[in-house]
Chain A
Amino acid sequence: MEHRKLIETSCSHFNNDPRRMLDILWQIQNSLGWISPDTMELIAQLTNTYRVEVEGVVTFYAFFMSKPQGQFVIHLCEDIIDRYAGMLPVQNAFEQILGIKVGETTKDGLFSLHLTSCIGMSDQAPAALINDMVVTNLSPNKTKILIRTLKKTRNLASLVKTFGDGNNSHELIKSMVNNNILLKGDVLLGDININAGLNKAFSLPPEEVIATVQASNFKGRGGAGYSSAKKWLAAAATQADKRFVICNADEGEPGTFKDRVLLTERAELLFEGMTTVAYAIGSQHGILYLRAEYRYLLPYLESLLTKRRNEGLLGTDILVDETENTRFSFDIRIQLGAGAYICGEETSLISSCEGKRGEPKNKPPFPAVSGYLGYPTVVNNVETFCNIPRIVDKGAEWFTSIGTPESSGTKLLSVCGDCTRPGIYEFPMGITLGEVLSLAGAKDPEAIQIGGASGVMVGRADFERQLCFEDLPTAGAIMIFSSQRNILEIADYFMHFFIEESCGYCTPCRVGNVFLKQGLEKIMAGKGETSDLKYLQDLGKTIIQTSRCGLGHSSPKPILSTMKNFPLVYAALLKEHPDGRQAGFNIQHALDESRIIAKRRSIVFDPDLGGD
Chain B
Amino acid sequence: MKKKRIATTSLAGCFGCHMSLLDIDERIFDLLELVEFDRSPLNDLKKFTRRCDIGLIEGGCCNEENVHVLREFRQNCDILVAVGQCAMMGGLPVMRNAIMHSDDPLRECLDEAFCTPKVLNPENQIPNDPALPLLLDKVYTCVDVVKIDYQIPGCPPSGETIWRALNALVKNEAPALEYDLIKYD
Contacts and interface: CB of A to CB of B under 8 A. Distances in A.
A591 B140 CA distance: 12
Interface residues of A, number: 24
Contacts of A582: 143-147
Interface residues of B, number: 28
Given A585-B144, A602-B64, A595 B134 contact: yes
B134 A598 contact: yes
Nearest to A529: B147
Interface string A590-602: 1111110111101
Contact of A591 (B75, B128, B136, B145): B136
A587 interface: yes
Contacts of A590: 67, 136-138, 140
Contact of A585 (B105, B107, B145): B145
Contacts of B136: 590-591, 594
Contacts, number: 69
A604 B147 contact: no
Interface in B8-67: 64-65, 67
A460 to B, nearest CB: 35
B64 A591 contact: yes
B146 A594 contact: no
A72 to B, nearest CB: 34
A599 B128 CA distance: 9
Given A579-B75, A580-B146, A605-B64, A597 B137 contact: no
A597 B107 contact: yes
A162 interface: no
Contact of A593 (B67, B68, B106, B146): B106
A605 B71 CA distance: 12
A442 B71 CA distance: 51
A531 B136 CA distance: 25
Contacts of A604: 64-65, 68, 133
B117 interface: no
B147 A531 contact: yes
B106 A580 contact: no
Given A579-B74, A580-B146, A591-B134, 18 more contacts: A577-B147, A580-B147, A581-B145, A584-B144, A585-B140, A590-B67, A590-B136, A591-B64, A593-B104, A594-B64, A594-B135, A594-B137, A595-B134, A597-B106, A597-B110, A600-B134, A605-B67, A605-B68
26 contacts: A531-B147, A579-B71, A579-B75, A580-B74, A580-B146, A580-B147, A581-B74, A581-B146, A582-B144, A582-B145, A585-B145, A587-B64, A591-B64, A591-B136, A592-B137, A593-B106, A594-B64, A594-B135, A597-B107, A597-B110, A602-B134, A604-B65, A604-B133, A605-B64, A605-B67, A605-B68
Interface of A: 529, 531, 577, 579-582, 584-585, 587, 589-595, 597-600, 602, 604-605
